A and B are shown apart, each in its own frame.
Chain A
Amino acid sequence: MNENTEIDKNKDKPAQTHKIGIYLWIWGLLFVLSFFSYMVDWYQFQGILRWSLILFFMFLKAGLIMAFFMHLFWERYTLVNVLLWPMTAIACFVGLMVAEAKYTFFSRLIYFVLGG
């Protein structure tokens, strides 16, 4: 039997939804995590500690939003893969531009500050 007609048949039934508790939990967690990332600035953490804490809270928040608010946790793997693999291209781009930025920075030091 054709799958698409089967999907159409189910259309009038209310779709299965998730319990409200999940959303409230994620909502609360996002508030707490945002508070923590604000505290990173409040207590003026510096250096590696500051950067790693910022990234940790950022990725945790982004993951929670995508997984539960955007329902990716419940989607089939094909969609999840199509959406997440392109992020490796962005990571490569970041790596390239870090190298480029270092090159520019040292060139500027040599020519602007030391005067060539």
Chain B
Amino acid sequence: MSDSSLDNLPKGWKSVPNDLGSDQTAFKGVQWGKAMMWIFLLSDTFIFSCFLISYMKGRASTVVDWPNTSHVFSLDFMGVPVPLLLIAIMTFVLITSSGTMALAVKYGYEKNRKMCAHLILATAIGGLIFVGMQAFEWSKLIHEGVRPWSNPFGASQFGSFFFMITGFHGTHVSIGVIFLFIFARKVYRGDFDTGRRGFFTTMKSDYVSIEILGLYWHFVDLVWVFIFAFFYLW
């Protein structure tokens, strides 16, 4: 969020040497928690990149055909197999929850407590639906005989990459859902208006926390964009 005290500072590329050489906070106008969340997300980007790169390496170096994902992940709809149907619905659910989160951040900064809380709750429910559909997908594939070491559709590396990548992403979604519920309760209670101190910290609550939570949630959506493209569509 822009801050009026930053208006006098240089803008654009000139701001980089100015901010870094100011002998003060380098990330001007960025609350420390938000900067830390960005650094965490950067490290998380490297973890997911390592998973996706190892998947690329595994898939590119196997001499056995890779399973046809649009066939493996097809779902019967009224007797007709629709390719990637569940994955498409999961993608739209996650984008929807990302949109409600973006609006929650906006209403939080406008100190619109009710709207903010409702939207965080909607985001959490979207995340819950996503995890539920992923659990369904996992059980379906396990039922069809997909294992981390073998599967009936093709190259045996498929299972381990599938469970590792979607599992790690699903864990991120689940942790996000837990935090969304916690923060929905905090916003409903008015912690961010009264500056009530948190359970694990002595610091006062502030609506910046909602933006930090939003960064995490958008990141989860961002990772799904890459998983959807590389794992399911490629």
Contact = CB atoms under 8 A, between A and B. Distances in A.
A77 B14 CA distance: 9
Most buried by A among B26, B27, B57, B207: B57
Contacts of A51: 234
B53 A30 contact: no
B19 interface: yes
Contacts of B226: 58, 62
Interface in A58-116: 58, 61-62, 65-66, 68-71, 74-79, 81-83, 86-87, 90, 93-94, 97-98, 100-102, 104-105, 108-109, 112-113
B120 to A, nearest CB: 15
Contacts of B20: 78
B142 interface: no
Contacts of A102: 60-61
* Chain B interface extent, by class: 35 or more
Contacts of B13: 77
Interface in B184-234: 207, 211, 214-215, 218-219, 221-222, 225-226, 228-229, 232-234
A24 to B, nearest CB: 8
A77 B109 contact: no
A115 to B, nearest CB: 13
B27 A76 contact: yes
A30 B6 CA distance: 31
Interface residues of A, number: 65
Contacts of A108: 61-63
A75 B215 CA distance: 13
A112 B88 CA distance: 38
A3 B24 contact: yes
Given A6-B5, A54-B233, A62-B225, A17 B61 contact: no
Contacts of A16: 1-2, 4
Contacts of A42: 83
B106 A15 contact: no
A8 B102 CA distance: 25
Interface of B: 1-6, 12-13, 15-16, 19-20, 24-30, 35, 38, 42, 45-46, 49, 53-54, 56-57, 60-63, 70, 83-84, 88, 91-92, 95, 98-99, 101-103, 106, 109-111, 207, 211, 214-215, 218-219, 221-222, 225-226, 228-229, 232-234
Interface of A: 3-4, 6-7, 9-10, 13-18, 20, 23-24, 26-27, 30-31, 34, 37-38, 40-42, 44, 50-51, 54-55, 57-58, 61-62, 65-66, 68-71, 74-79, 81-83, 86-87, 90, 93-94, 97-98, 100-102, 104-105, 108-109, 112-113
